[in-house]
Amino acid sequence: MKKLLGLLVMSGAVLGALFLLTSLAHMGGGEATQAVTLKPASMVQEGSIVSIEYTLRDEAGNVIDTNAGKEPLTFVEGAGQIVKGLERELNGMKVGDEKKVQVKPEDGYGLPDKNAFHEIPRDKIPLEGQKPGAMLMTKAPGGGTIPMRVHEVKEKTVIVDLNHPLAGKTLNFDVKIKEVRAAEAK
């Protein structure tokens, strides 16, 4: 699950950076394409390419995820690639700054949605996944994958939960700004 979330965040960061760079390159209508360079920036602001080290803990203080001592998480500030509560709190920070950030569910992965619970025939679920808490993957209409958690197993059906696993949870981040870059047209 952590690898999938990390992959989705990294994919979003790459797409966001490409969108930003493409947008900058096409400014000015039909004129010649401009080159874009990445320069160090003094602080996190909208459009900055930001790299952070983080540890995410639940309300009891248990580590949910961390990249400490690993590759930093890189994203475009203001592009919605990380939870909005964390993104908002990083604005204005500088390289080397550290901060503890508490993100309420509304500004994290949202509140659980009762409409995200679905009952499906038991024979459509692999036998090893027919236990409460089991994490499964299903195909999305667009071809991607969606994680789902088995909520309840009945005689002929299984109730699955498509809510994000952290929906309804208060998130506690320890964050350190590792790098801030700004894209500029030449």
71 touches 44 (CB < 8 A): no
pLDDT digits (tens, 9 = 90+) for 70-102: 999 999 999 999 999 999 999 999 999 999 999
- pLDDT per residue as tens digits for the range 99-145: 999 999 999 999 999 999 999 999 999 999 999 999 999 888 888 99
Assess whether the region 2-102+171-185 and the region 114-161 belong to the same CATH fold: no
pLDDT tens for each residue of 142-181: 889 989 999 999 999 999 999 999 999 999 999 999 999 9
Predicted model pTM: 0.69
CATH class of the domain at 114-161: mainly beta
Residue recorded with tokens 């700054």: 97
Residue 112 identity: P
Give the separation between CA 163 and CA 147, rounded to whole angstroms.
9
- Each residue of 36-70: pLDDT tens digit? 555 666 899 999 999 999 999 999 999 999 999 99
Please give the Cα distance from 50 to 95 (Å, whole number). Answer: 9
- In this structure, the number of other CB atoms found within 10 A of the CB of residue 9 comes to 15
CATH 3.10.50.40 fits 2-102+171-185, yes or no: yes
Selection from 67, 31, 37, 36 nearest residue 52 by Cα: 67
Which candidate, 81, 46, 78, 65, places its Cα nearest to that of 175? 65
> Distance between terminal CA atoms of the chain?
41
Domain ranges of the chain: 2-102+171-185, 114-161
